Each structure stands twice: as C-alpha cells, then as structure tokens.
Amino acid sequence: MAEDSVDLLLDQHGRIDDLFVRISKAAPADRGEPWRELRGLLTVHETVEEELVHPVAESLSDGTAEVAADRVAEEVGAEELLRRLADVDPESDEFPQAFKALRTAVLSHAAHEERYEFPRLKAYRSDELAALAPRVAAGLGVADDTGDDPPETIKERVAEAVREADA
Amino acid sequence: MFNPLDHRGTPLDKQVRTFRELDVAPIDPIDADPYTRCRIITMNGIEVEAVLFSHQFARHCTDPDVRAKLAGIRYVEAQQQKVVNWLLPGISSPLETTIAYEQVAVDLTAWVSRQEPDPYLKQAYEFGVLEDFDHLYRYANLFEMVERRKARKVVDDLTEVMPGRPTALHHRDPVDNLREPYDKSSAAPISRLHALTVMAAEQQTMNFYMNVGPQYMEPIARQLYQEIALIEEEHVTHYESLVDPAETWWEQLVTHEYNECYLYYSFMQQETDPHVKSIWERHLDMEVAQLQAACELMKQQMDKDPASILPETLPEPVRFEPNKALLRELLATQIDLTTLGTGYVTEAHERFERMQERLMAGEAPASDRVIEEHRRVFGDEYRVEAEGPHPVESLRTDASHA
Ligand SMILES: [Fe+2]
Ligand SMILES: [Fe+2]
Ligand SMILES: [Fe+2]
C-alpha cells in the first residue's frame, strides 16, 4: 500500500496521541523528555499541514475550503497554548492543567481533520495527495530530531527539508 | 444489602428532565478508566433494550391505561438512554468505540459466565465470549491500519488482544444459533438477569455496527463491519433464545426494571468517576420507582406476586474487572467448538460447511484479509499479549508467520 500524504499525517496523529497519553500518566519528574519530543513534533506537524496539506483543501469548492480554514484557526489556537506552556516547568504543579487544555485542543483538532477534512481530500484530490507525499514525508521527518530548537528554527528546517525534497 | 423493593425512589411524575439536564459532560477519553467507558456502553445497551421492549409490548397491548403507563415510563427510559450514551466523548471515532464495545462483550460475558449457576447457560456464555474476543483482535488490526492508532490506548492492559475462535468460523447456519431456553418455573432469578443483560449488550452491538459500518470509506473497513454485524445478529439469536418464551409480558417488564436497578446499583458501587457515579445513583432512584410501577401492573394483570420471580436479595453486584486467566483457559479448551442444533460439537458438520460455502464462495472473508493486510503493511499483526504467548501454540505469532 503506497502511503499517501494523509497516511503519513495519520501516523503522526497516532504518535501525538501516544505522547499525550504518556505525559498525562507520567510522574512529574518523567514528563520532561516526552514533553520535549511532543513540542517539536507538534510544531513540525502543524507546519507541514499548513504549508502543504490545508492549501490543497483550500482549493476545493464544495465547502472544503471553509473546513480547512476552520482547521487553520484551530492550529493558531493550539500554537498559542503551546507558546504559553513553553515557559512552564513540566515538573511544576501548574503544568497538568495547562497541558490538559493543550491536549484537548490538539486531539479535537486532529479528530476534526480526520472526520471533516481528510476524507474529502482522499475523495477528491487523491492524485495530488500521492504526488505531495515525498514532500510531506520530508517535512514530517524533521520531527525525528528537533532537540531544543525553538519553534521558529523548526519551521525553517521544515521549509528547507520540503525544498530539498523538491530538488 | 440494598433491596430495590424496599424503596420508593423518584416519583414517576418527577422523572422527566430538562434539555439542560440531559446535556451531560462527556468523559475524557484519556483520563477515564476504560471500565468506566465499559459501564457506559453496557447501560446504554440496557436502556436501549428497555425502550425497544416497551415499544414491542405497547404494540401487543390493547388496554389504553396500560399503553399510557408504558408510554410515560418509556419516555423516561429514552431520556436515560440519552444521558448515558452522551457520556461518550465525541472525539472518539466509531472504530475506537467499537473496540470498547468488544471489550464490554468480552469482560461482561466472562464475568457472567463465572457467576452463572446453570451449566447449560454458563456454556452459552463461554462459547460466545471467545467470538467477541476474536472480534476485538480483528477490529484492533483494522484500527491501526485505517486510523494509525493502537487498541491498547482503548483497552489498556485490562483486556488482552489476540486471536480467539476465528471470526470466519462464526458463520453458522441460523438454525444452529438457537439454544434451549431456561425453564421459567425452575430457573434461578439471577439466570434470567444474566440472559437479559448479555442479550441487551449484544443487541446494542448489533445495532451499532449496522449503523456505523457504512460510515467508513476504506473497503476493508466496510466489509469487516458488515461481516461482524452479521455475527452479532447470530449472537442476539443465541442469547435471546436462552430466555423462556413462556414468560408473560408482565413478567418480562418486571424483570427488565429489576435488572436496571441491579445494574445501576452494581455500577454505582464500582464507579471511580464521581460525575458518572452521580448519574448511576440518580438513575437507580428512577428505576426503583419504575420497578414499583411494573410490579403493580403485574399484580393487577396477572394476579401473581412479582416477588415470586425476583431474587430474595439483590445478587452480587456485576463488576468490570480483568478476566485474562479465564479467557486463556477457554482459549486452550473451547476454541474448536461450534454448534449443532442446541448443543455444541467440535466437528465441522455438513450444515456448517454448507453455510460457510454459501457465504464465502471460495473467497477469504474480510476478517481474514484484515490480518493479512496488516501484516503486509506493518510487517506483523496487532496484539496485546500482556500475559505471555498465546495459549494455543498454533496461534502464536512466530508459528503463524512461519
Ligand atoms: Fe493534524
Ligand atoms: Fe431505564
Ligand atoms: Fe457479540
């Protein structure tokens, strides 16, 4: 089964899910490491969606463009929550509540994409999704080593990886 | 011990709730105990049965006063169903909920089989549980394939995910799905409650699959739902045929209401989520009054004491808890069973073979293909074997890959 762009995104949704579960159930001292991984992963993932995938949906007429616009708005909201959490010590007492807000926002957002946006892309733009797959894969691949890079750096690295895949 | 017959509960004319009260906050899929979700799914099945049973009763009832009484209680049961089922979070996909339905079928039926005093009835639960156990494994493989999620996040380590009696072999001639009913004059009251509970749970599973299956676009998902939905039809036939058809409508109504009291009471004892627990408590108070009304009807219409068909004290509360050891034992001893007439055999008899050929016409069913596909895409199959290798050697992964 050749993996199209949506399959690649779904794979990361699964990974994002797992990390949210892991951090939610971890002892405070054990949150740091998966939290670092999740932060980088979220920035990479949403950047790829915004740069490559939502634009495909935005080119569709039957309401799909509006569906995609709603998704972008959710991503902006989630990014704001992520930014606020950046300064919170993951071992602190204030972390769980703010983290749960982010978790709810991100997981609902992913569910919305899977329910309202991706099925339409698969139904109407399957060729485009397949053609985009190498670039999506390259962009998402940045998530494998984001280290402590700040979001701006991560976004640049994603853009570069996508450009290289084009070349 | 709590005896529902000793309480008055919430008066019937105070039971209708406002929309605002019906609009309950759903559980969080990550924070919630998987067994809280199982209790929600079970009580939804029970309330759906309460509503459907009452409709059937009304359609066979000529007395306008009784029809009015039934309509009033039924409306409240319908509201209870809304409150209970709306505890499920919208964020979960139908397939995720499907996996939870199969977890219910496994751990509820296993618990019932352990408590059931009648050996013939016990056998019926032991037989059925190995099939839903296999459905869990097939859906878990589908889940990872189409949603890239792992079933372990739904079932945790409470219920194992591995092959049971192969789903392909659940397709029997319909005649062989009928069991022998218990005898209402001699059956233990707990046996009636068990049969009703498991029948209701399976009926809701059947309803759920027949409705959500076509919402999937992937052909393998559509086909798997269709196949398993047909097996749930067989399961409903299997479990409902255990109930003595000679029970009158009045007796059945009393048994239904008593069972609702029993289950809400049970789950109230075990519930860890305070919000959900408060709902079980409130519903118990309502059911107690519904039970009184049902008892009144039975006394008037049949001139028979309802206590004669009910347990003297409330039976031991139903619990959701792991049944891994029992399932492993059943896998080791009963995986080869099928049915012939109302009994159980190990050979693939002629009528069974004929039905198999009729349905499959030489092709592999979706339940087999979903595993093959998963192996092809992911290099292995999805399992959660928390307690070690599969008890049946030929069903261990190394063996099946060889
Ligand atoms: Fe996403
Ligand atoms: Fe009810
Ligand atoms: Fe079943």
Domain assignments of chain A as residue spans, ordered by start:
5-166
Interface pTM, i.e. ipTM: 0.89
Mean pLDDT of B281-300: 97
Q: What pLDDT was estimated at residue B398?
A: 66
CB-based contact (8 Å) between B149 and chain A? yes
Mean pLDDT of B294-315: 95
- Ligand 3 centroid to residue B128 C-alpha, Å: 7
Q: Each residue of A22-66: pLDDT tens digit?
A: 999 999 999 999 999 999 999 999 999 999 999 999 988 888 899
Residue A1 in this model has a pLDDT that exceeds 60: no
Model confidence band, residue B402 (pLDDT cutoffs 50, 70, 90): very low
Check if the beta carbon of residue B137 is closer than 8 Å to that of residue B170.
no
Q: Each residue of B382-394: pLDDT tens digit?
A: 999 999 999 999 9
Q: Each residue of B159-184: pLDDT tens digit?
A: 999 999 999 999 999 999 999 999 99
Total-model pTM: 0.95
Q: Each residue of A9-24: pLDDT tens digit?
A: 999 999 999 999 999 9
Lowest mean pLDDT among A120-134, B119-133, B177-191, B269-283: A120-134
Instruction: List CB contacts (< 8 A) between B147 and chain A.
Output: 10, 14, 114
Instruction: List CB contacts (< 8 A) between A107 and chain B.
Output: 29-30, 91
Q: Each residue of B358-378: pLDDT tens digit?
A: 999 999 999 999 999 999 999
Q: What is the mean pLDDT of chain B?
A: 96
Mean pLDDT of B26-44: 97
Q: Cβ of A13 and B153 within 8 Å?
A: no
Q: Cβ of B91 and A17 within 8 Å?
A: no
Q: How far apart are CA B365 and CA B352, in angstroms?
A: 16
Q: Cβ of A11 and B148 within 8 Å?
A: yes
To probe the interface with A, which of B27, B31, B91 has the most A CB atoms within 10 Å? B91
Any domain includes B116: yes
Any domain includes B369: yes
To probe the interface with A, which of B31, B148, B377 has the most A CB atoms within 10 Å? B148
Any domain includes B22: yes
- The single-letter code of the amino acid at B76 is V
User: First and final CA of chain A: distance in angstroms?
Assistant: 25
Name the residue in chain A with its Cα closest to that of B374.
A1
Residue B107 C-beta-side C-alpha neighbours within 13 Å = 26
Instruction: Name the region of B9 (left: φ>0; alpha: ψ -120 to 50; beta: rest).
Output: left
Instruction: List CB contacts (< 8 A) between A17 and chain B.
Output: 149, 153
Residue B399 in this model has a pLDDT that exceeds 60: no
Check if the beta carbon of residue B338 is closer than 8 Å to that of residue B172.
yes
Nearest ligand (C-alpha, residue A54): 1
Which helix (H) or strand (E) is B317 found in, with range?
none
In chain B, how many domains are there? 1
Please work out, in degrees rounded to the nearest 5, the angle formed at the alpha carbon of residue B77 by the alpha carbons of B76 and B79: 65
- Ligand 1 centroid to residue A110 C-alpha, Å: 5
Domain of B188?
4-322+365-387
